[in-house]
Amino acid sequence: MELVIKALTPDLLDDFLHFFDNIAFSDNPDWSGCYCHFYHFPGSMEQWRETTSEQNRNATIQLIKDKKMTGFLAFTDNEPVGWCNINSKEHYKKTPIDSKPETSLEGKVASVVCFLIAPAYRKKGIARELLKHAMKILKEQGFNWIEAYPRKQTELSDAHSYHGPSSLFESEGFVVVNEDEHFLLMRKTLK
């Protein structure tokens, strides 16, 4: 399988929407209305529950057009098969587990909040390739740190593993720097 990874730009909007409209949640339609907007959403959980799929889709389209939602799409045979939502941490309205500002942490911080892999392509290393590519590009862009927020419960379904497994991040040099009841905060230097 030849994998091509492209940074999300407004030019890839149709591919992004095709992936989210038809592929990403084909085995989990209950979550199909997110459009990877949750961590960009400024409101409360109660307000989030009241948003519609169309509202999230439209908000995500605008974020992409404004270049405020970034990440990487993975393609095989010109078909999108994977997505990684990664951005400067300051562009997210929330993260699964927030760290207190650390005076020892200097420089730009990126956050990986979501991986979505097409059902037929899971467990084939696509998330790892997306992460490796993202780290290379972020380092070139002058980011000093990258954070990830895997769930602590590993026995959950593929749907609940959208943050990526802790084993993936650990094998790529991330270390746990904080945790709460449900999530780990893992970080790696990109210097």
What are the residue boundaries of the structural domains of the chain, listed by start?
4-189
Q: For position 31, what pLDDT does the model report?
A: 76
pLDDT band, residue 157 (cuts 50/70/90): low
18 token code pair: 């095709």
pTM of this structure: 0.92
pLDDT at 59 over 90: yes
Q: Which residue has the higher pLDDT, 191 or 169?
A: 169
Q: For position 106, what pLDDT does the model report?
A: 82
CB 126 within 8 A of CB 74: yes
Residues 37, 124: Cα–Cα separation, whole Å: 26
Mean local confidence (pLDDT), 9-27: 94
Among 17-26, 33-42, 153-162, name the one with the lowest average pLDDT. Answer: 153-162
Q: For position 46, what pLDDT does the model report?
A: 95
CB 19 within 8 A of CB 76: no
CB 121 within 8 A of CB 82: yes
pLDDT at 109 over 60: yes
Q: For position 37, what pLDDT does the model report?
A: 94
CATH code of 4-189, in short, is 3.40.630.30
pLDDT band, residue 99 (cuts 50/70/90): low
Q: For position 158, what pLDDT does the model report?
A: 60
Which residues, at least 6 apart from 171, have a Cβ–Cβ distance to it below 8 Å? Answer: none
Q: For position 100, what pLDDT does the model report?
A: 59
pLDDT at 11 over 80: yes
Mean local confidence (pLDDT), 62-90: 96
